[in-house]
Amino acid sequence: MEIVIQQIAAGLATGGIYAAVALALVMIYQATELVNFAQGEMAMFSTYIAWSMINAGMPYWVAFFLTIVISLIGGVLIERFVIRPVEDAPILSIVIVFIGLLVIFNSLAGWIFSYVIKEFPSPFPSHAIVIGHIQFGSHDIGSVIVTLVVLALLYVFFRFTPLGLAMRAAAQNPVSSRLVGIRVGWMLALGWGLAAAVGSVAGMMVAHKVFLDPNMMSGILLYSFAAALLGGITSPGGAVFGGFTVGVLENLVGSFVPFVGNELKLTVALVLIIGVLLVKPSGLFGRTVVTRV
Amino acid sequence: MTALLKVSGLNAYYGRVQALFGMAFEVQEGGITTILGANGAGKTTTLRAVCGLTRTEGQIEFNGNAIGSKATEDIVRMGIAQVPDGRGTFVNLTVEENLRLGAYTRKNRSLVAQDFDRVYHLFPVLLERREQQAGTLSGGEQQMLAIARALMLRPKLLLLDEPSFGLAPLVVKEVFEVLRQVNKEEGVSMLLVEQNASLALRLADDAYLMETGQVVLSGPAQQIGEDESVRRSYLGY
Amino acid sequence: MQQVQAPRVGGMTPAQWRLVGFAVLAVAVLVLPFVVGNYRVFQLTMAMVYAIALLGLNMLTGYNGQISLGHGAFFAVGAYTTAILVKHAEMNYLITIPIAAAVCFTVGFLFGLPALRLEGLYLALATFALALATPQLLKYAETWTGGVQGIVIAKPKAPFGLPLNPDQWLYFLTLIIAIIVFILARNLLAGRIGRAMVAIRDHHIAAETMGINLALHKSLTFGVSALYTGIAGGLSAVVVQFVAPDSFSIFLSITLLVGVVIGGLSSISGAIYGGIFIQFIPQVAEEISKAAPWAIYGVFLIVFMYVMPMGISGFVHVLLRKVAAGRR
């Protein structure tokens, strides 16, 4: 029983990472109806930037916040200069641009920082926290807390600030937004910036557990994508729920289903998720979009 | 009476297709002008052109400034608010959030608060439903919300695209009463595009009749409303 | 009634120019393998193999509007079917190709049935999962697939004592199969079924009300699309002489998608342009930068999409139209 709880706890920790990346995907999706497949690589690259700063002697939390700011600016610039020129192109063409970005970030990271696996420090104490008979890694608990704080801040931002409201409006109805004076283009760019910032937090939290290397985020991106769809790609809350669920599911399947080692764990988790989607095609919390014929 | 909005030689395009051919009309300061015409005459296009939502050629002058090449977001900041066709409400946001967005570009908080009171006074049903999602409102309520949102800008000029569309007659009466009140008491000028000619002619001061992208007839609204031959050949009643 | 004269360029009508262009191309295609080195011949053969695979994917994505991130899986199934039959059943490699096609059709059709309930992104995820699962399953079924090591098959020699070295023989074999497959595809797409597919893509509700059986058509399209890709896979096993799970990773599926979009959706010539792109551009990228070749590749992708958002075939189409209009 204790092992189950431990696995669930560990699952929640990774789940938090998936939730954060899933949220980043949903944010961009809501504004553009596109899934940013390059989100994972952007997060990985941000993490390398953080690593360089820490390696150069900067204190952890300073590097942490500086990376978030850099990622935010980076996201804005990428939207304005890389995505903006093709925003009217067919969807699949834009997907190819995302793939291009993905490949560029991955390759640049390998070139600049080498493919040697690096350690990424944790700001949390190294001893485990014991509650009852169950051991919880303090990095795990710390990650979950950091993720939840980030999610809470985002929620407050979108719900209670004028800029957040404007961003929501711009995502939902660009034409009406222009008619009230919202500069929709900048809202989109800011959305990308926030998504990049959230991604960077996810990257920095997960790097300690899986070690930093250019291919660190590819599996995570897939899980996050699945989580976002599971929760319903139109629902930020759903994405978060999906993320935690997928994290726990992955851990439980990996630990308790006999023939499934690390290799097949991904496949099994995905098959389960797809099973859910076949029953509820818009995801658990997604709105079934009724299109008028 | 000075012209608040002066449009001349206006051509408008959707991609390569031309929709307006040398439109010319004026809205007097403090007045209500209506543009009438059948479906497809180009009424909505005209409003979109004024707001910079479509590619145009020609002269559009607002308050003495040329706005033909300006972006919509800047035109709005100059004091033009539009109630688009189909209402254009933010259906997934609450009524109050919709109204707050109407005032997005304004800096003076206390004046905005005043306008909230004013708008809730004009449309009490919106006050009742402030926390409700706009998409769950009835057609008439959404129309009121759309007008209220536009009024939250404290516009000098209000553009309305077929406000009577799809509304029950009693609701339409209510809405037009509010429009008349706002125009008389606060001097908000209006450009009203309508298919329902009799209604529009009773509200407006000046009228223009449109056919396939051009003005074919113009004059004081009352005159046009009383001219039987015009009514029969152009307005169908 | 005056007959409309087609504009003449340099003394010939566009139709005549097209014929000339075609003839030049045909000569080049037939002569090349005797003029360039063996490795190049191999690369050209692989470009054709990819073109066949892209034809399959294009059918699904371009014409039917369904997204697949998982065609690498069908490619793998085709390749392994051939490899296993040649190695364990000692079948002649030529016979394995139609068998690979049939197997892939079945797999594709069966996959298409449940996949129908999913749209757009959700379908993308499902096919993505299929692509990811494939190398893992291949490694797992060791007894048949040879596990991580894969299967090696011998390079076939030209039959009937033809004066061709093995690379040249495979080139012409692939060319013949490609031509057959392309002609079949063109007929399919130009006919009733093709029009039904486009109708489904553009407005599936209207298509249904016109009596097109949506479920059947979508599954059939999946099946046929997989069939084409399976043929390509089977050929690849023979040309490369080797199959292993890691050759069929998710990266292959992504590459195929890249090929189809860059080549140009909804266009048969797009498959050819795409095949050439995905075979040769990575090399070009490597020549530009040894250190970060994929970064250059990524830049290529982005630039291509800026300049030709409709793919190469779309671009060529517009170009030809402008030339024709300019001369009038």
Parent domain of C216? 37-154+163-249
pLDDT above 60: residue A17: yes
pLDDT category at B141 given cuts 50, 70, 90 is: very high
Q: What percentage of residues in chain A have a pLDDT greater than 70?
A: 96
Number of domains forming the structure of chain C: 1
Quick one: which H or E segment has residue C15? helix C14-35
pLDDT at position B208: 93
Q: Hey, are the CB atoms on C122 and A281 less than 8 Å from each other?
A: yes
Closest Cβ–Cβ partner in B73, B88, B100 for A176 = B88
DSSP codes of every residue in C53-105: HHHHHHIIIIIT----S-HHHHHHHHHHHHHHHHHHS---HHHHHHHHHHHHH
Per the CB < 8 A criterion, the answer to whether A143 and A13 are in contact is yes
Distance from CA of C169 to the nearest CA of A (A): 35
Superfamily name with CATH number, domain B1-74+194-237: P-loop containing nucleotide triphosphate hydrolases (3.40.50.300)
pLDDT category at C249 given cuts 50, 70, 90 is: confident
List phi, psi (to 5°) of A220: -65, -40
| For chain B, domain boundaries | 1-74+194-237
- Residue C115 belongs to some domain of the structure: yes
Contact between chain C and chain B (3 or more Cβ pairs less than 8 Å apart): no
Please list, in sequence order, all residues whose beta carbon lies within 8 angstroms of the beta carbon of residue A279, skipping any fewer than 6 positions away: none
Residue in chain C lying closest to A271 (CA): C129
Q: How far apart are the C-alpha atoms of C148 and A75, rounded to whole Å?
A: 40
pLDDT category at C25 given cuts 50, 70, 90 is: confident
Interface residue B53 vs chain A (CB under 8 A): yes
DSSP codes of every residue in chain A: -HHHHHHHHHHHHHHHHHHHHHHHHHHHHHHHS---TTHHHHHHHHHHHHHHHHHTT--HHHHHHHHHHHHHHHHHHHIIIIIGGGTTS-HHHHHHHHHHHHHHHHHHHHHHH-SS-B----SS-SSPEEETTEEE-HHHHHHHHHHHHHHHHHHHHHHHSHHHHHHHHHHH-HHHHHHTT--HHHHHHHHHHHHHHHHHHHHHHHHHHH-B-TTTTHHHHHHHHHHHHHH-TT-HHHHHHHHHHHHHHHHHHHHHSTT--HHHHHHHHHHHHHHHHHHSTT-SSPPPP----
Each residue of B63-78: pLDDT tens digit?
A: 999 998 999 999 999 9
Mean pLDDT (whole number) for A5-10: 84
pLDDT above 60: residue C328: no
pLDDT at position C227: 94
Q: How far apart are the C-alpha atoms of A151 and A195, rounded to whole Å?
A: 12
pLDDT category at B191 given cuts 50, 70, 90 is: very high
Phi-psi region of C15 (alpha: psi -120 to 50; beta: other; left: phi over 0): alpha
Q: How far apart are the C-alpha atoms of B197 and A160, rounded to whole Å?
A: 43
Quick one: which H or E segment has residue C228? helix C214-240
Mean pLDDT (whole number) for C24-43: 87
Listed as own residue / partner, the contacts of C203-212 with beta carbons closer than 8 Å and 24 or more positions apart are C205/A293, C206/A293
Each residue of C112-163: pLDDT tens digit?
A: 888 777 777 788 888 888 888 888 888 878 877 788 888 888 888 778 877 8
Please list, in sequence order, all residues whose beta carbon lies within 8 angstroms of the beta carbon of residue B22, skipping any fewer than 6 positions away: B9, B10, B11, B58, B214
Q: How far apart are the C-alpha atoms of A39 and A235, rounded to whole Å?
A: 18
* Best mutation target, A176, A177, A187, A292, to test chain B (most B CBs within 10 A): A176
pLDDT at position C14: 67
- Residue C300 belongs to some domain of the structure: no
Q: Hey, are the CB atoms on A95 and C261 less than 8 Å from each other?
A: yes
Q: Hey, are the CB atoms on A180 and B77 less than 8 Å from each other?
A: no
Distance from CA of B102 to the nearest CA of A (A): 5
Nearest alpha-carbon partner for B58 in B100, B90, B13: B13
Q: How far apart are the C-alpha atoms of A145 and A143, rounded to whole Å?
A: 5
* Best mutation target, C66, C261, C266, C267, to test chain A (most A CBs within 10 A): C261
List phi, psi (to 5°) of C133: -70, -30
Q: What is the ipTM of this complex?
A: 0.91
Domains of chain A with CATH codes:
2-279 (1.10.3470)
Each residue of A107-157: pLDDT tens digit?
A: 999 999 988 899 999 988 888 888 777 777 888 888 889 988 998 999 899
Q: How far apart are the C-alpha atoms of B218 and B212, rounded to whole Å?
A: 15
pLDDT category at C11 given cuts 50, 70, 90 is: low
* B residues 120-179 lying closer than 8 A (beta carbon) to A: 149, 153
pLDDT at position A293: 45
| Highest-scoring range by mean pLDDT, A257-266, C20-29, C219-228 | C219-228
pLDDT category at C103 given cuts 50, 70, 90 is: very high
Please list, in sequence order, all residues whose beta carbon lies within 8 angstroms of the beta carbon of residue B80, skipping any fewer than 6 positions away: B50, B51, B62, B155, B156, B157, B159
Q: What is the mean pLDDT of chain A?
A: 88
Per the CB < 8 A criterion, the answer to whether A214 and A44 are in contact is yes
DSSP label at C158? P
Q: Hey, are the CB atoms on A182 and B92 less than 8 Å from each other?
A: no
Q: Hey, are the CB atoms on A106 and C128 less than 8 Å from each other?
A: no
Q: How far apart are the C-alpha atoms of B144 and B124, rounded to whole Å?
A: 10
Give the angle subtended at the CA of A124 by the CAs of A121 and A128, to the nearest 5°. Answer: 110
Structure token digits, residue A157:
């931002």
Per the CB < 8 A criterion, the answer to whether A248 and A28 are in contact is no
Identify the weakest region by mean pLDDT among A49-58, A89-98, C201-210: C201-210
Mean pLDDT (whole number) for B212-221: 90
Per the CB < 8 A criterion, the answer to whether C171 and C257 are in contact is no
Q: What is the mean pLDDT of chain C?
A: 85
Identify the weakest region by mean pLDDT among A58-72, A210-224, B74-88: A210-224
Give the angle subtended at the CA of A46 by the CAs of A264 and A251, to the nearest 5°. Answer: 25
Nearest alpha-carbon partner for B51 in A184, A179, A185, A176: A179
Give the angle subtended at the CA of B103 by the CAs of B102 and B104, to the nearest 5°. Answer: 95
Q: How far apart are the C-alpha atoms of A24 and A193, rounded to whole Å?
A: 10
Q: What percentage of residues in chain C have a pLDDT greater than 70?
A: 93
pLDDT at position A174: 92
Scored b (16 or more CB within 10 A) or e, C40-58 reads ebbbbbbbbbbbbbbbbbb
Which residues from B are below 8 Å from A184, CB to CB?
A: 73
Each residue of A121-132: pLDDT tens digit?
A: 998 888 888 877
pLDDT category at A291 given cuts 50, 70, 90 is: very low
Q: What are the C-alpha distances in Å from A63 to residues A49, A176, A211, C75, C240?
A: 9, 40, 18, 45, 49
Residue with tokens 């799970």: C245
Interface residue B49 vs chain A (CB under 8 A): no
Closest Cβ–Cβ partner in C122, C132, C254 for A267 = C132
Each residue of C62-81: pLDDT tens digit?
A: 877 778 888 999 999 999 99
Mean pLDDT (whole number) for B179-197: 92
pLDDT at position A229: 87
Nearest alpha-carbon partner for A204 in A112, A56, A36, A66: A66
Please list, in sequence order, all residues whose beta carbon lies within 8 angstroms of the beta carbon of residue A220, skipping any fewer than 6 positions away: A17, A18, A21, A40, A202, A206
Which residues from C are below 8 Å from A89, CB to CB?
A: 305, 309
SS3 of chain B: the string is: CCEEEEEEEEEEEECCEEEEEEEEEEEECCCEEEEECCCCCCHHHHHHHHCCCCEEEEEEEECCEECCCCCHHHHHHCCEEEECCCCCCCCCCEHHHHHHHHCCCCCCHHHHHHHHHHHHHHCHHHHHCCCCEHHHCCHHHHHHHHHHHHHCCCCCEEEEECCCCCCCHHHHHHHHHHHHHHHHHHCCEEEEEECCHHHHHHHCCEEEEEECCEEEEEEEHHHHHHCHHHHHHHHCC
pLDDT at position A268: 76
Q: Hey, are the CB atoms on A103 and C295 less than 8 Å from each other?
A: yes
pLDDT category at A278 given cuts 50, 70, 90 is: confident
Q: What are the C-alpha distances in Å from B236 to residues A252, B84, B209, B225?
A: 72, 25, 12, 12
Q: What is the mean pLDDT of chain B?
A: 91
Inter-axis angle of helices A262-279 and C120-140, nearest 10: 150
Identify the weakest region by mean pLDDT among A179-188, B194-203, C191-200, C231-240: C191-200
Q: How far apart are the C-alpha atoms of B87 and B222, rounded to whole Å?
A: 28
Residue with tokens 């058509």: C217
> What's the one-letter identity of residue A7?
Q
> What's the one-letter identity of residue A283?
G
Distance from CA of A31 to the nearest CA of B (A): 14
